[in-house]
């Protein structure tokens, strides 16, 4: 279970504390178990500092706390504080990641049977799509849907989303695409072949959470080889 430690303190020496934390990061390279750390300064009280540190589990957090470097830095931190820091230990019981949910819904919608969904709940009206298979960037919701319909007309397919990483207003997904070639694709008549392609897609989001820009990277050369399009060139 993900574990979060909330540390609050008051200090008039924030710059010195920041340098102290940089020292701790340097000294504990390869030893730290934290996966994410965030430091905030109270807008109404600049001396009020809050640090949020995320760990994979409580046990990993305790292993981090028991490092000798952590003990030394903590004593230095206390010396810089105007009062004793407070700690709050939290087991994460709910972790919402809206960008990740949007990405997974997007891939599911692309592969859903029947007519392609409008996608206007996922894509911005002025969405930009960058795909190496297209000579130009595709701009706008209608044009982007037309591009997806081209793929759907050529293949019955599904995505397995292996990983989704999010940061700020962007997300990156690693996926595997499994398909059956049943329609014309870039001049290649239907082969009935089972094909597989792996790739990664980067997403940029608008402030309202819709997808504003998409960059596709995938093994299209491998796909063409599986479809037999390179057979004559290889002979």
Whether residues 127 and 198 fall in one domain: yes
| Cβ within 8 Å of residue 42, ≥6 positions away | 48, 49, 50
Which residue, of 58, 91, 124, is where some domain finishes?
91
- Please determine, for residue 172, whether its predicted confidence score (pLDDT) is greater than 90: yes
| pLDDT value of residue 96 | 86
Whether residues 104 and 85 fall in one domain: no
| pLDDT value of residue 31 | 85
- Please determine, for residue 235, whether its predicted confidence score (pLDDT) is greater than 80: no
Whether residues 120 and 199 fall in one domain: yes
Distance in angstroms (rounded) separating the CA atoms of residues 99 and 162: 15
Whether residues 28 and 68 fall in one domain: yes
Which residue, of 34, 61, 91, is where some domain finishes?
91
Whether residues 48 and 65 fall in one domain: yes
Q: Which of 66-70, 121-125, 161-165 has the lowest mean pLDDT?
A: 66-70
Which residue, of 68, 91, 114, is where some domain finishes?
91
Question: What CATH number is attached to the domain comprising 64?
Answer: 3.30.70.100
Contact present, 64 and 89 (Cβ < 8 Å):
no
Whether residues 24 and 82 fall in one domain: yes
Whether residues 33 and 14 fall in one domain: yes
pLDDT digits (tens, 9 = 90+) for 75-123: 888 899 998 899 999 999 988 889 999 999 999 999 999 999 999 999 9
Whether residues 84 and 102 fall in one domain: no
Mean of all residue pLDDT scores within the chain: 92
What is the pairing mode between strands 86-91 and 36-42? Answer: unpaired
For the chain, give the percent of residues with pLDDT over 90. 76
| pLDDT value of residue 232 | 55
| pLDDT value of residue 163 | 97
Task: Please count the structural domains in the chain.
Answer: 2
Distance in angstroms (rounded) separating the CA atoms of residues 19 and 42: 19
Question: What CATH number is attached to the domain comprising 206?
Answer: 3.10.450.50
pTM of the model: 0.79
Query: What's the domain range around 177?
Result: 98-234
Q: Looking at residues 49-65, what average pLDDT do you find?
A: 92
- Please determine, for residue 178, whether its predicted confidence score (pLDDT) is greater than 80: yes
Whether residues 84 and 161 fall in one domain: no
Task: Dig out the tokens for 45 from the structure.
Answer: 């009280």
Whether residues 81 and 106 fall in one domain: no
C-alpha torsion sign, points 90, 95, 97, 98? negative
| pLDDT value of residue 234 | 52
């Amino acid at each position: 279970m993900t574990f979060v430690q909330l540390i609050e303190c008051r200090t008039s020496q924030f710059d010195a504390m920041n340098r102290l934390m940089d020292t701790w990061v340097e000294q504990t390279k390869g030893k730290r178990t934290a996966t994410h750390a965030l430091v905030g300064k109270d807008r109404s009280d600049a001396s009020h500092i809050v640090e949020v540190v995320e760990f994979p589990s409580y046990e990993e957090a305790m292993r981090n706390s028991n490092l000798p470097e952590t003990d030394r830095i903590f004593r230095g931190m206390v010396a810089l504080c105007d009062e004793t820091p407070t700690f709050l230990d939290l087991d994460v019981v709910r972790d919402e990641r809206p960008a990740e949910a949007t990405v997974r819904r997007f891939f599911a919608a692309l592969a859903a049977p029947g007519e392609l969904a409008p996608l206007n709940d996922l894509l911005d009206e002025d969405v930009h799509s960058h795909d190496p298979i297209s000579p130009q960037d595709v701009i706008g919701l209608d044009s982007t849907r037309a591009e997806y319909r081209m793929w759907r007309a050529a293949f019955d397919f599904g995505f397995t989303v292996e990983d989704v990483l999010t940061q700020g207003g962007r997300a990156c997904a690693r996926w595997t695409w499994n398909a059956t070639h049943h329609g014309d694709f870039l001049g290649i008549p239907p082969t009935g072949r089972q094909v597989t392609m792996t790739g990664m897609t980067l997403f940029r989001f608008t402030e309202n959470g819709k997808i504003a820009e998409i960059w596709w990277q995938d093994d299209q050369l491998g796909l063409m080889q599986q479809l037999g399009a390179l057979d004559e060139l290889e002979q």
